Amino acid sequence: MNIDSFDRLVGEFSRLPSVGKKTAQRYAYFLLTMPDADVQNFADAMLQAKKNIHYCKVCANFTDKEICDICSKPNKEPIICVVKEPKDVSALEKVREFNGSYHVLHGVINPLEGKGPNDINLMSLLDRVNKENIKEVIVATNPDVEGEATAIYIANLLKPLGVKVTRLAQGVAMGSELEFTDPVTLSRAIQSRREM
């Protein structure tokens, strides 16, 4: 189709993560078949979410309150789990292995992209560790190069404060096959082997 408003809509859908032109066209065609009221609702949902949802003043996770539900919980353990993105909080909250709070960096240190420690939400973590009398910081950035580098940076930053800094264990994933596990993961799994 050669219609400006269609192309514009396809362009907007293409901005979504992993959405190429073909998928964007599919979404746009689908939208045109939706009733007017439903499209209005969809657009409203976007604007409302963007308007209502902002960063928690404490942990910087998304919330529609001033301080998010997790940070406002009473009787939390004095543990902060540091993650790269809000969706990592969702993943970790599903397993509920600890009853502490989170700290969302909104990025990781990445010198190649010119991202230093001051370009992510890191310095407020120092304040929190002091003020909230934190005993342990679990660094749960992704197990990739930038995530590892960020974890090491955070460990060096926090250790002088006397707080325990831990990192998620690395090893073979449940249901995976040794044959197809990468060598780095395998060697870490051997290094951290545990007695049965």
What is the binding site for a second copy (CB under 8 A)? 1-6, 8-9, 11-12, 15-18, 25-32, 34, 36, 38-53, 61-64, 69, 85-87, 89-90
> Smallest gap, in angstroms, from Cβ of residue 126 to a second copy?
25
How far is residue 137 from each of residues 3, 46, 67, 112, 155, measured CA to CA in Å? 54, 35, 20, 26, 9
CA distance 171 to 189: 4
> Smallest gap, in angstroms, from Cβ of residue 144 to a second copy?
18
**Closer CB to a second copy, residue 45 or residue 123?**
45
**Closer CB to a second copy, residue 140 or residue 157?**
140
> Smallest gap, in angstroms, from Cβ of residue 61 to a second copy?
8
**Closer CB to a second copy, residue 65 or residue 159?**
65
> Smallest gap, in angstroms, from Cβ of residue 39 to a second copy?
4
CA distance 101 to 99: 7
Q: Which of 173, 167, 166, 165 is nearest to 189 (CA)?
A: 173
Structure tokens at 160: 């002088």
Ordered alpha helix ranges (H), 53-182: 69-72, 86-95, 123-131, 145-158
**Closer CB to a second copy, residue 5 or residue 191?**
5
Spatial neighbors of 143 by CB under 8 A, at least 6 apart, are: 168, 170
**Closer CB to a second copy, residue 45 or residue 145?**
45
> Smallest gap, in angstroms, from Cβ of residue 107 to a second copy?
10
> Smallest gap, in angstroms, from Cβ of residue 159 to a second copy?
31
Strand partners, 110: 115
How far is residue 93 from each of residues 90, 125, 141, 142, measured CA to CA in Å? 5, 20, 15, 16
**Closer CB to a second copy, residue 15 or residue 193?**
15
